Amino acid sequence: MKGILICGGSGSRLKPLTDITNKSLLPVYNKPLILYPLQTLLDAGITDIAIVTGNEHMDQMAAFLGSGSRFGCTFHYCVQDKPKGIAQALGLTESFASGDSICAILGDNIFFDDLSSVIKSFKSGAHLFLKEVHDPERFGVATVKGNRVDSIEEKPVQPKTNLAVTGCYVYDNGCYAFIKNMKPSPRGELEITDVSRWYAEKGQAVGMMLKEEWIDAGTFESLFKAAEMVRKRLTK
């Protein structure tokens, strides 16, 4: 399995911080944000990892991460020229994946659950990680039957559940063929929710409920909360 860290986008909710650097390089207590999702991949035994980010901060990203040798892995860098959605960013890694399954994680997501056994045991289809939230209208929202993801809606006005689809996506290599034929959403992006929905509609999407905290650190409040939570865990 190959790993992918998606660190594109303009980081508009974190400006002016993101005028200076990519949001995935912003500090969360004692280390840059990107090291948390990276650790999730490393814990799952994934050591061949692509980093997808925009032109504007690629130099900083590569300068910090380097070849990957100090983390015990190998990094490959992919440039997303324009922020046209998470699925578009994922599509750029097809040649890197080279027929393998992939575990893609958003560079601003922090998982406190241990996902390693689920990722390591993946065979085919899609595996998603779900979390009960108080504001599901901000996310892709899933309905489930048992451990199967039955449907997914992107930022629904009236969510059917409070189960958010978090930013870790384990897909087989079939995702790339689907991405090639995707049409942009009304906001002009290729939505990762549509990729997950494609698997769900085929009955091939499995969901794991997260028990621990999960942070989408894309706002000032969530970035601050992430730092507090990391500090609390380190100083217990």
10-residue stretch averages of pLDDT, the chain, 236 residues long: 90 84 92 97 98 92 96 96 92 97 97 96 97 91 94 92 96 97 92 96 96 91 92 84
* DSSP code at position 190: -
- Residue entry with tokens 């601050």: 224
Report the pLDDT value the prediction gives residue 162, as an integer from 0 to 100.
94
Report the pLDDT value the prediction gives residue 57, as an integer from 0 to 100.
86
Boundaries of domain holding 84:
2-234
- The pTM is what? 0.95
Report the pLDDT value the prediction gives residue 7, as an integer from 0 to 100.
94
Residue 23 CB partners (closer than 8 Å, separation 6+):
7, 9, 11, 14, 17, 33, 107, 108, 217, 218
Count of alpha carbons within 13 Å of 69, Cβ hemisphere only?
Answer: 3
Query: Nearest-CA neighbor of 193 among 145, 126, 144?
Result: 126
Q: What element of type H or E holds 88? A: helix 86-91
CATH number at residue 76: 3.90.550.10
128: which strand partners? 169, 207
110: which strand partners? 215
Number of structural domains, the chain? 1
Report the pLDDT value the prediction gives residue 233, as an integer from 0 to 100.
87
Report the pLDDT value the prediction gives residue 75, as an integer from 0 to 100.
98
